[in-house]
């Protein structure tokens, strides 16, 4: 967050044109509720690999956390680190395991897209359900 603000300040110092670019720093694009190809791909990959535990639309389940909440405080690096290495909750009596996806090509290759989709959901830029694609 601090870094984001700092970069926004730098961009502001560079003038109005640069400020407009600040918006492009979002990993997703949503126009009239429709998403770009990468975000749509993230939606699909999420459905294939994450939904079974994290629930529809990233909204969480009794087993795994709500990722739209998680991405309010996790950086993209922390997100990627968790997905690639996995994590095990050893402190609770319940054994909740986040599997490691480091060897799952479909996830590693499209991790940025999955992040974009979940970030759009987390920011409230995208509602629940299957999104439509821009230009379709």
* Helix ranges (DSSP H) in 23-110: 37-49, 51-54, 67-73, 76-85, 105-108
Determine if 101 is a binding residue for ligand HEC (CB under 6 A). Answer: yes
Beta carbons within 8 Å of 108's beta carbon, 6+ residues apart: 84, 101, 102
Tokens 């290495």 map to which residue? Answer: 85
CB of 23 to ligand HEC, least distance (A): 25
Using the minimum distance from each CB to ligand HEC, give the nearer residue, 87 or 133.
87
Coil, helix or strand for 87?
strand
CB of 4 to ligand HEC, least distance (A): 19
Determine if 126 is a binding residue for ligand HEC (CB under 6 A). Answer: no
Using the minimum distance from each CB to ligand HEC, give the nearer residue, 35 or 71.
71
Q: Which stretch binds ligand HEC (CB under 6 A): 2-10, 18-26, 34-42, 67-75?
A: 67-75
Contact 43, 117 (CB under 8 A): yes
Q: Which stretch binds ligand HEC (CB under 6 A): 8-16, 23-31, 52-60, 119-127?
A: 52-60
Phi-psi region of 33 (alpha: psi -120 to 50; beta: other; left: phi over 0): left
Coil, helix or strand for 11?
helix
Give me the residues that bind ligand HEC (CB under 6 A), please: 49-50, 52-54, 63-65, 67, 70, 74, 79, 82-83, 87, 89, 96-99, 101, 107, 114
């Amino acid at each position: 967050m601090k870094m984001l603000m700092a970069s926004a300040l730098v961009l502001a110092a560079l003038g109005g044109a640069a400020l407009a670019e600040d918006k492009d720093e979002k990993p997703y694009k949503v126009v009239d509720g429709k998403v770009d190809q990468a975000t749509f791909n993230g939606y699909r990959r999420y459905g294939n690999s994450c939904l079974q535990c994290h629930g529809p639309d990233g909204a969480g389940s009794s087993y795994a956390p709500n990722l739209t909440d998680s991405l309010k405080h996790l950086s993209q690096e922390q997100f990627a680190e968790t997905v690639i290495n996995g994590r095990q909750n050893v402190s609770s009596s319940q054994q909740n395991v986040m599997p490691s996806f480091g060897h799952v090509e479909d996830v590693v290759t499209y991790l940025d897209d999955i992040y974009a989709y979940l970030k759009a959901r987390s920011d409230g830029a995208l509602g629940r359900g299957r999104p439509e694609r821009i230009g379709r």
